[in-house]
Structure formats: C-alpha cells, structure tokens
C-alpha cells in the first residue's frame, strides 16, 4: 500500500489515490485533495464532507448520492454543481472514504 | 509501505477531460420490475459524468405519464423465475391470477425496493432529471395512447419520432430495456 505525504502528514492511499485510513484524514488534507482535482472547498462542500464522514462512521459504508440528498439534505442538483461530473467519487475522495458501492 | 512523496502518489483519474461518451436508454416496459433497469443504469451513467438520454416508448410511457407513474404494478404471471426472496421454491403460476395477487406482489416489491433506499418511480425520475438526464417520449406511442405533452411530466423534453431518436442517438451507446 503506497504512502503519500499530504499537508505534512503521512497517509495511506490505494492504487487510485483514495485514502484508506479513515482516522488519518483532517481538514488540511481535505483542502489539499480538493485542490488536486480543481475544487476549492466552500461551506456547502464542507456540509457534504461532514455528512459523508459521519455517515460512513455510523453506517460503515460510504453514502450514495441518493443518501447524501435525502438524509444529508444536499439536493442532487447541487451535488453535481459542487463536485462536477462525478460527484460520488469526488466527494468520497476528498472526504477520505472509499467510493460508494451502492447502485443508487 | 513503500515510497513517500510530497504529493499523493496518484491522483484519481476522474475523466474530467470532456468525454464524448453518450448513452441512450430505451424504456419500453411499464411493469414495476422492468422500469428499474433503465432508471438505475441511467442514474449511474449520470453519476459518471456521461451524457444520458431516456427514450420512453410503448408501456414505458407510463413512467413519465402523470396519472400513471405512481401506480406501476408487478405480477409474476408468465415469470417462471419468480421466487420469494432467499427461498428455493417457485411461486405457482396459477396463484398469480387470483384476485388481489397483483396488488400484493406490487406492495411486496415496493417494500423491497424501499428497504434498499431506492426511490419510487416518480422520485427516481426526478433524481435523474436533477442529475442532468434528458427524457424523451415516443410519438407513435403518444398517438396510440392519446397522450399529449400535457399528460406527461413537465421534465419531458419532447415527443419525438423514431427518426428523431436515431438522430439523437448518433454516436451513443443504445440500450433497450
């Protein structure tokens, strides 16, 4: 498993670059990862990130876009604006959790 | 534990370069179990940043017809594969025709779908529209069923002919469901 130094911390990542250790994540890392894919984090991004992380912690799996909109309260349309084109993968990447596995 | 670098070893390829991939689904069925394949796959395609269209034809028109989209039904009549979840037995075909059986089977399937946190059809269609999906209705079906744009949900972009669809789907992957 490769290790990357992000924002001064060593973090474990998988072959695609997704973080693999939930507890190694912090806000600075999130900002850096977002920058890597051209996203500047604003308040609404943080609402999504915080929901994704707390839901992952509670449920043991990454929420799907459907869940982020119905339970997390950020509408689908907005998710596509915040994390253009591939919102599910991008929000997971920045939030330091695996890609969602659910179909919907 | 191997290399240590200043930046992430790899930045995932989110394919942000404009892709010309395009998918058109043809939704031709109106039974509850057969409307989900195109909806689920269209939603997944949109989540991958792919231009996605759904062309509704024949009984698939019910998915976008205001008065019908909430009331799609499921029956196992003619479906010999039908078995209760997790059971090895098959449901006898003869039972499917008994009064009330379609309603019961529909209710059960809706519950199973809801348990997976998958939305019902009207919500699902709305989610696809919100994700940028484009909806089209078939002209021949509309004429046969005496439907106009007023009968269809507002997000349908138009009632188009077979030729229009062939033009629309140029260069697209087309999936018939």
Number of domains composing chain A: 1
Task: Establish if A39 belongs to a structural domain.
Answer: yes
Kindly write down the DSSP assignment for every residue of A35-92, as one continuous string. Answer: HHTT----HHHHHHHHHHHHHHHHHSSPPPHHHHHHTS---HHHHHHHS-S-HHHHHH
A29 to chain B: nearest residue by CA? B8
A102 to chain B: nearest residue by CA? B116
Q: Quick check: is A7 catalytic?
A: no
List the domain boundaries for chain B: 22-70+102-148+155-176
Task: Establish if A101 belongs to a structural domain.
Answer: no
Q: Is B78 touching A (CB cutoff 8 A)? A: no
Give the model confidence (pLDDT) of A2-36 as tens digits.
888 887 888 999 988 899 999 999 999 999 999 99
- Residue B6: the pLDDT is 52
Q: Is the pLDDT of residue B53 over 50?
A: yes
Q: Does ipTM come in above 0.90?
A: no
For residue A97, give the DSSP letter.
S
Angle CA(B65)–CA(B67)–CA(B69) in degrees, nearest 5? 55
Going by pLDDT thresholds of 50, 70 and 90, the confidence category of residue B141 is: very high
Task: Establish if A102 belongs to a structural domain.
Answer: no
Three-class secondary structure of residue B27 per DSSP: strand
Chain A, residues 43-102, CB within 8 A of chain B, namely 64-67, 69-70, 75-77, 80, 84-90, 93, 102
Residue of A1, A42, A58, A103 with catalytic role = A103
B132 Rama sector, left if φ>0, alpha if ψ -120 to 50, beta otherwise: left
- Kindly report the CATH class assigned to B22-70+102-148+155-176: alpha beta
Do B40 and A103 count as a contact with CB atoms less than 8 A apart? Answer: yes
**Dist. CA A42–CA A53, nearest whole Å:** 17
Domain span at residue A34 reads 3-95
- Residue A95: the pLDDT is 97
- Residue B163: the pLDDT is 97
What are phi and psi for residue B104, nearest 5 degrees? -70, -45
Task: Establish if A20 belongs to a structural domain.
Answer: yes
């Amino acid at each position: 498993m490769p290790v990357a130094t992000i924002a001064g911390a060593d973090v474990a990542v998988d072959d695609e670059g997704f973080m693999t250790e939930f507890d190694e994540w912090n806000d600075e890392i999130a900002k850096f990862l977002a920058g890597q894919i051209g996203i500047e984090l604003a308040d609404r991004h943080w609402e999504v990130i915080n929901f994704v992380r707390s839901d992952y912690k509670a449920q043991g799996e990454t929420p799907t876009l459907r869940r982020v909109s119905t339970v997390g309260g950020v509408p689908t349309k907005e998710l596509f604006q915040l994390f253009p084109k591939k919102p599910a993968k991008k929000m997971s990447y920045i939030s330091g959790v695996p890609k969602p596995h659910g179909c919907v | 534990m191997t290399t240590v670098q200043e930046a992430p070893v790899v930045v995932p390829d989110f394919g942000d370069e404009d892709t010309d991939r395009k998918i058109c689904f043809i939704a031709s069925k109106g039974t509850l179990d057969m409307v989900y394949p195109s909806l689920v796959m269209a939603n997944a395609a949109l989540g991958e940043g792919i231009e996605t269209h759904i062309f509704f034809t024949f009984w698939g028109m019910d998915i976008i017809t205001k008065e019908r989209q909430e009331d799609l039904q499921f029956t196992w009549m003619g479906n010999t594969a039908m078995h209760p979840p997790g059971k090895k037995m098959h449901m006898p075909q003869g039972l499917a025709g008994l009064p009330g059986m379609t309603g019961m089977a529909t209710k059960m399937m809706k519950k199973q779908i809801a348990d997976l946190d998958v939305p019902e059809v009207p919500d699902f269609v709305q989610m696809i529209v919100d994700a940028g999906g484009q909806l089209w209705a078939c002209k021949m079906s509309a004429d046969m069923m005496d439907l106009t744009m007023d009968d269809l949900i507002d997000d349908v972009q138009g009632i188009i002919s077979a030729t229009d669809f062939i033009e629309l789907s140029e260069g697209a992957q087309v999936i018939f469901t």
